[in-house]
């Protein structure tokens, strides 16, 4: 506590004094530009990693950056989400997972939590779709590889859960809301963003089009040089797909290949010429039922 009290004094004498006009403006109301949904993990500071100023981010935090599907829980997540979109008019939503996530570790061993941490057990049940996708599609992985894939899959699951909320679905339909999926890597400070064209987590771009309505990982997700996430190729049944282009600038050519899901090589897309056609299948169809 002593350190915190000293910090309060430093804040009042330093940062607050230097930005007094900003805080005076904020006292009359908030106008955040982004809804940032992330984990409660103490190692993540949304304003720090994005360098956003006070008042620019409206933040929802909980164990595992989970947003229960609409009607599944009458908790603070849904209320905060509804307020952010309806009252504050936010038009950009980010779901940010992170490496070494304790909640995702717990999800992979959820039955062991029932007795010791029953409330955590009940909460992680809201991520059952993530657990099932991982269980059914990644049984050949273990350890850190399995955890990394679980983190990525959970981000995609939450993006889909967001769309079960009427206000979210309506704003997306109007073209007034965009969803983004991020993964923050604690050990490097790097952030990867889900790209709907390549179905990868890649270096984020400042200009993104509307997201596609399906979230699916590519076998090379994400690029090896940017992240330890490595998803081996798995043969799956052919399924139809559709996507809306999301601008991405891949700067690394170490990936094994890519396909747009319709049999055409992604190398025909500007900025993707370096990608080969060897991997023509996606490993799964997201959290799709």
pLDDT of 54-84, one tens digit each? 999 999 999 999 999 998 988 899 999 999 9
In this structure, are 159 and 271 located in the same domain? Answer: no
The packing angle between helices 143-162 and 128-137, to 10°, is 130
The residue with greater pLDDT, 240 or 202, is 202
Both tokens of 88, joined, read: 């504050």
What is the pTM (predicted TM-score) of this model? Answer: 0.72
> Is 5 inside a domain boundary?
no
User: Is 50 a member of any domain?
Assistant: yes
66 located within any domain: yes
114 and 226 inside one domain? no
Which residues constitute the domain of residue 45? Answer: 31-189
Tally of structural domains, the chain: 2
Domain edge (last residue) among 189, 219, 244: 189
Q: What is the pLDDT of residue 197?
A: 83
| One domain, residues 142 and 250 | no
What pLDDT sits at residue 203? 87
pLDDT exceeding 90 applies to what percent of the chain?
58
Say what the pLDDT of residue 12 is: 86
Tell me: the pLDDT tens digits for 109-121?
A: 999 999 999 999 9
Give the strand order in the sheet containing 200-202. Answer: 57-62, 34-39, 92-98, 178-184, 191-195, 200-202
Q: Are 39 and 148 in the same domain?
A: yes
> Does 109 lie in the same domain as 59?
yes
Distance from C-alpha of 33 to C-alpha of 56, rounded to nearest angstrom: 5
129: CATH: 3.40.1050.10
Tokens found for residue 220: 């090379």
197 located within any domain:
no
Span 167-174, mean pLDDT?
A: 94
Residue 3 within a domain: no
């Amino acid at each position: 506590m002593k350190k915190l009290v000293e910090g309060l004094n430093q804040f009042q004498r330093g940062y607050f004094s230097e930005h007094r006009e900003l805080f005076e403006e904020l006292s009359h109301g908030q106008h955040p530009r982004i809804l940032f949904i992330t984990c409660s993990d103490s190692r993540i500071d949304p304003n720090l990693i994005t360098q956003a100023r006070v008042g620019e981010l409206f933040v929802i935090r909980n164990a595992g950056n989970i947003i229960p599907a609409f009607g599944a829980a009458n908790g603070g997540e849904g209320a905060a989400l509804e307020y952010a979109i309806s009252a504050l008019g936010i038009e950009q939503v980010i779901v940010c997972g992170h490496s070494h996530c304790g909640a995702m570790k717990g999800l992979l061993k959820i039955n062991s939590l029932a007795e010791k941490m029953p409330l955590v057990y009940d909460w992680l049940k809201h991520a059952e779709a993530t657990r099932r996708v991982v269980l059914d599609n990644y049984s050949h992985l273990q350890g850190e590889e399995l955890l990394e894939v679980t983190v990525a899959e959970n981000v995609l699951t939450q993006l889909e859960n967001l769309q079960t909320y009427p206000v979210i679905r309506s704003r997306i339909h109007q073209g007034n809301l965009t969803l983004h999926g991020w993964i923050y890597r604690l050990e490097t400070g790097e952030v990867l963003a889900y790209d709907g064209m390549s179905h990868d987590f890649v270096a984020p771009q400042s200009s993104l089009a509307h997201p596609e309505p399906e979230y699916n990982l590519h076998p090379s997700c994400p690029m090896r040089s940017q992240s330890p996430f490595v998803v081996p190729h798995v043969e799956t049944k052919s399924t139809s797909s559709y996507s809306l282009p999301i601008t991405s600038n891949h700067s690394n050519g170490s990936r094994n290949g890519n396909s747009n899901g319709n049999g055409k090589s992604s190398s025909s897309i500007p900025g993707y010429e370096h990608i080969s056609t060897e991997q023509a299948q996606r490993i799964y169809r997201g959290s799709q039922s």
